[in-house]
Amino acid sequence: MAPSDESPSGANCRRLEGKVALVTAATAGIGLATAERLAQEGASVFICSRKASNVEETVAALRGRGLEVSGCACHVGSAEQRKQLVEACVQKYGGMDILVSNAAVNPGAGPLAETSPDVIDKILDINVKAAVLLVQAALPHLRKRPGASIVFVSSVTAFNPPEPIAMYAVSKTALLGLTKGLAAELGPEGIRVNCVAPGIVPTKFSAALVETPELAAQQASTTMLKRLGRPQEQAAAIAYLVSPDAAYVTGETLVVSGGMHSRL
């Protein structure tokens, strides 16, 4: 996927010069905007997606902008592919300072009380289990780099899981707890762990929520700013959290939702 032509404000700052970032699910939407933003701030960025063709297209587009980006195909639900992803990043750039866990699925919609076991398994496997195991795979390398950090991409729906995506939202609620737990464990080692909870951002992943002008307007009306979010705004929040500017921030979830309700 080609990156957006809309450059985020502040992208000319170089807070991440010399850093290496691994960003999952980074060929579209928030993941792509994050890869672009981190690279603009000076990081060498390694990306992945399930389809090799999407990775190749995205890497070529970002390199065409003069950004240092590489990548490979990876299904984060596969232990072997997760291991290969981390090894490929470290082999390419010599280490890892930043991990942005962005991959997620939502294979079904409907009431929680009627969600099938296979849908529950897939959502928890990719959105929660794979996120934990990816951290485990990356930690030996993050531990070697002073100021290393991890960011999980959750969702504002984590605070009040709505039908018909409640099961997906519950998996995002789990990431809030994962952030707190890992931050407490890794803080003494100097590794920061934070989370971003995006609001409604029109991407392919959230297309069902904004597929008509009426639906989009309804979603925008739930925000204080009365508009939908942009991937670049989420990327800016992630860039802050992994930068030295957030050196004393860990265990936190930064809600970037235009003022939508965000309390458990």
Q: Residues 218-224: contacts with CB within 8 Å, 24+ apart?
A: 222/260, 223/199, 223/257, 223/258, 223/259, 223/260, 224/258, 224/259, 224/260
67, 39 contact by CB (below 8 A): yes
Cβ atoms within 10 Å of 15's Cβ, excluding its own: 17
234, 206 contact by CB (below 8 A): no
Tell me, rounded to whole angstroms, the distance of Cα 94 from its chain centroid: 22
Output DSSP code: residue 80. H
Residue 98 has φ and ψ, to the nearest 5°, of -135, 135
Three-state SS sequence of 43-77: CEEEEEECCHHHHHHHHHHHHCCCCCEEEEECCCC
Q: Where are the beta strands (DSSP E) in the chain?
A: 20-23, 44-49, 69-73, 98-101, 149-153, 192-198, 253-256
- Find out whether the peptide bond into 202 is cis, omega within 30 degrees of 0: no
CA distance 39 to 41: 5
Q: Would you call 240 a catalytic residue per the annotation? A: no
Catalytic residue among 93, 168, 240, 248: 168
Catalytic center residues: 168
